[in-house]
Amino acid sequence: MRNQYSDQFKWQVVQQYLYGKVGLKETAHHFGLDYSMVRRWVEQCRQHGPSGLRQTRRHYSPAFKREVLERRWRDGLSIRQTEILFDIRAAGAIGRWERQYHSGGLTALEPKRTGRRPMPQKPPSPPPEPPTDGERSHEELLEELAYLRAENAYLK
């Protein structure tokens, strides 16, 4: 999912909520947003400051994903609380990781390759075998004999 809101807009929404006299739902309605998004931005800002509103592109290792899931399960955290705790800004990532983990274990958390698949490699064809003496013509044998005699004479 692409981030469609600028950092400046997010900051404006958070400031309106924190220093305005209206609640979360009213702030969201004023800006035409879902209140859960405003709540997420406010919590990210409270936990990580204004930098918590910046979109980041991170790739998480399977070990990190497992650590996040185990902490969520062990401490009984909600997905939102876990996202804030680990500063995971990709909406829905933890829920996706849980589904992957339950369906395929730790290996399902490995990143998937994107792009085109490589073409299957054809095994190299073996070089053609030279014809045996019985398959060659009389002229070909005489030519080879002349070549070998010349080579032999040159070495002497």
Which pair of tokens denotes residue 149?
Answer: 């005699």
- 47 and 63 fall within a common domain: no
- 69 and 86 fall within a common domain: yes
| pTM for this prediction | 0.49
- 33 and 2 fall within a common domain: yes
Which pair of tokens denotes residue 30?
Answer: 């004023």
Look at residue 27 and tell me if it is in a domain.
yes
Look at residue 126 and tell me if it is in a domain.
no
66-103 residue pLDDT tens: 899 999 999 998 888 888 888 887 778 889 999 988 88
Reported residue count of the chain is: 156
Among all chains, which residue has been given the structure tokens 């680990």?
Answer: 86
pLDDT at 114: 73
135-155 residue pLDDT tens: 778 888 888 889 888 888 877
Which pair of tokens denotes residue 16?
Answer: 């309106």
Look at residue 3 and tell me if it is in a domain.
yes
What one-letter code names the amino acid at 80? R
- 50 and 1 fall within a common domain: yes
- 2 and 48 fall within a common domain: yes
Asked if 34 contacts 28 with a C-beta cutoff of 8 angstroms, the reply is yes
Look at residue 101 and tell me if it is in a domain.
yes
The secondary structure of 64-126 as a DSSP string is HHHHHHHHHHHHT--HHHHHHHHT--STTHHHHHHHHHHHH-GGGGSPPP-SPPPPPPPPPPP
- 50 and 65 fall within a common domain: no
pLDDT greater than 60 at residue 3: no
Look at residue 138 and tell me if it is in a domain.
no
Look at residue 135 and tell me if it is in a domain.
no
Look at residue 117 and tell me if it is in a domain.
no
Asked if 83 contacts 65 with a C-beta cutoff of 8 angstroms, the reply is no
Query: How many Å is the Cα radius of gyration of the chain?
Result: 34
> Which range of residues forms the domain containing residue 61?
57-111
Number of domains within the chain: 2
Asked if 28 contacts 38 with a C-beta cutoff of 8 angstroms, the reply is yes
22 Cβ contact list (under 8 Å, min separation 6): 30
